């Protein structure tokens, strides 16, 4: 115990000197991609599930498509810390221990993520990190952790910015580069203060597997896809390489229709959101797998320019037009039909001069004619020299890329 206290004390001295008071830069130059256990399994997590999920991520083609983080959410812990104050993995759920599990994940060319909480308890009642940040960061480093999702339950009167800054400093002092995912649900506007603290920050409460709903739990709510998108406006300028707005993990393959799943994935890509799957990868249907590994849509999300899409228009028929500038002067356009009926679009490119204040890019089809690729059917839809006409089914999208 004394040796541990000496280590922690030396880490505090390093932090005080300010030489380590910064996050590890360059770990998330594009939005992180991976899988998280919570949406499907909640507290029903164990070593076998994680190993099987790792194998499924590879066999399904998700690893080849860019997914790399395997994140164990809440409930992996024993109910108490050990005598030295260390977190302990539940020995029944994870009999081989977290170091061995991390070694397995790394041996498959993937990265290991874990969950804890900035409060005294996690949301499920397990030991939180408050007061143990430097000790926990050392432990995570020893396990080979690559990604830390840090929740916000049981935080009392703590200041969010100071609390997350402490954990950031602990990660830095421990010496292992770890992507730091801030999960305080957008309550204290982390987009305004977290750029130098975390690599991504949640901007909403928890998502749920419905298209457009709110599920009220009394003191908090879960939100459907449309409500999640509509919850935060005017914050796209805060997102960019190494600091992303996070609208939560994806619900694809969890009970919505294929149209809705396709819209969900398209919109997350347009928003430059982290692409963290939440379904059971071990038995997903072929059509779900095809959505998750659509490399053309993923390329929009992972575009190195790192600009979050602008909602350009929203007409009375229920069709929204989202526009995302891409590198090399290209553009992604998503026509999103959130209505209950099929809608017809007839988009006149010549009448839509688009100037983006965030990227400083302009789309002027009078000066340049672009070719148009449908990112879901893979078809060439002609050029911007003529109107784009199409029927979009209910709750579905037409997502295209404009190429020079």
The single residue listed with the structure tokens 């539940």 is 90
Identify the H or E element spanning 301. helix 295-301
Is 374 assigned a catalytic role? no
Residue 33's φ and ψ, nearest 5 degrees, are: -125, 140
Would you call 151 a catalytic residue per the annotation? yes
Point out the catalytic residue in the list 151, 280, 301, 303.
151
Q: For residue 227, what are its two tokens?
A: 């409500």
Write down the catalytic residue from 136, 206, 246, 396. Answer: 206
Distance CA 209, CA 94 (A): 28
The first and second tokens of residue 396, run together, are 């579905």
In 113-197, alpha helices (H): 133-143, 160-174
Instruction: Report the helix count and the strand count for the chain, using DSSP H and E.
Output: 11, 20
d(CA 64, CA 53): 15
Going from the C-alpha of 252 to that of each of 269, 312, 338, the distances in angstroms are: 13, 25, 17
Cα 48 off chain centre by:
24
Q: What is the 3-state secondary structure (H, E, C) of 319-357?
A: EEEEEEECHHHCEEEEEEECCCCCEEEEECHHHCCEECC
Q: Of 357, 360, 351, 368, which is closest to residue 402 (Cα–Cα)?
A: 368
Q: List the catalytic residues.
A: 151, 206
């Amino acid at each position: 115990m004394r040796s541990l206290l000496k280590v922690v004390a030396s880490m505090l001295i390093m932090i005080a000197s300010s030489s380590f008071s910064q996050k590890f830069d360059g770990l998330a130059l594009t939005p992180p991609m991976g899988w998280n256990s919570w949406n499907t399994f909640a507290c029903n997590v164990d070593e076998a599930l994680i190993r099987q999920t790792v194998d499924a991520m590879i066999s399904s083609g998700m690893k080849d498509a860019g997914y790399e983080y395997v994140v164990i959410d809440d409930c992996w812990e024993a109910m108490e810390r050990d005598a030295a104050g260390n977190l302990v993995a539940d020995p029944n759920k994870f009999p081989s221990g977290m170091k061995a599990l991390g070694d397995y994940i790394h041996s498959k060319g993937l990265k290991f993520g874990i969950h804890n909480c900035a409060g005294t308890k996690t949301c499920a009642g397990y030991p939180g990190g408050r007061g143990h940040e430097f000790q926990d960061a050392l432990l995570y480093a020893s396990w080979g952790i690559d990604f830390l999702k840090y929740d916000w339950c049981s935080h009392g009167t703590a200041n969010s910015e100071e609390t997350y800054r402490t954990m950031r400093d602990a990660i830095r002092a421990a010496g292992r580069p770890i992507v730091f995912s801030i999960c305080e649900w957008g309550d204290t506007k982390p987009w305004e203060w977290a750029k130098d603290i975390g690599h991504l920050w949640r901007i909403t409460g928890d998502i749920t597997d419905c298209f457009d709903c709110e599920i009220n739990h009394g003191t908090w709510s879960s939100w459907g896809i449309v409500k999640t998108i509509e919850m935060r406006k005017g914050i796209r300028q805060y997102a960019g390489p190494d600091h992303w707005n996070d609208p939560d993990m994806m619900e694809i393959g969890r009970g919505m229709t294929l149209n809705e799943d396709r819209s969900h994935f398209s919109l997350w890509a347009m928003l430059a959101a982290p692409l963290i799957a939440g379904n059971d990868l071990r038995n997903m249907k072929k059509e779900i797998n095809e959505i998750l590994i659509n490399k053309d849509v993923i390329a929009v999300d992972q575009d190195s320019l790192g600009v979050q899409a602008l909602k350009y228009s929203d007409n009375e028929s229920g069709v929204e037009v989202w526009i995302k500038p891409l590198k090399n002067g290209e553009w992604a356009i998503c026509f999103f039909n959130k209505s209950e009926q099929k809608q017809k679009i007839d988009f006149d490119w010549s009448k839509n001069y688009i100037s983006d204040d965030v990227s400083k890019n302009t789309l002027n089809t009078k000066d340049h004619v672009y070719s148009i690729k449908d990112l879901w059917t893979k078809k060439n839809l002609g050029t911007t020299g003529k109107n784009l006409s199409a029927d979009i089914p209910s709750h579905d999208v037409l997502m295209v890329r404009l190429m020079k």
